[in-house]
Amino acid sequence: MVLNKISTIERCLKRVREVYSGSPASLEDFTKQDSIILNIQRACEASIDLAMHIAAKEQLGLPQTGREAFDLLKANGVINEETAAK
């Protein structure tokens, strides 16, 4: 499960980089916009799923929100402040 979520996050971010390709002009194309938005959303969802999974597996508490899951990971030294703030 963990490796699958990490793979999903990496794949989505790679796709965002490919479609955006460092060019703000890419955002004028609605199909490219949709692709970028969808892949960012997928990466966020996979990150939250992963945080929830780790919090449960490590018995850190029962987070009710994604933010709470990341806060629990930070409070227990699983991730640092910088990562939690992202």
Q: Give pLDDT tens digits for 4-60.
A: 999 999 999 999 999 998 889 889 999 999 999 999 999 999 999 999 999 999 999
pTM of the model: 0.87
Please answer whether residues 20 and 26 qualify as being in contact, where contact means their C-beta atoms are separated by less than 8 angstroms: yes
Say how many domains are in the chain: 1
**How far is 57 from 85, CA to CA, in rounded Å?**
22
For residue 54, the enclosing domain spans: 2-85
Backbone CA torsion sign across 34, 11, 5, 66: negative
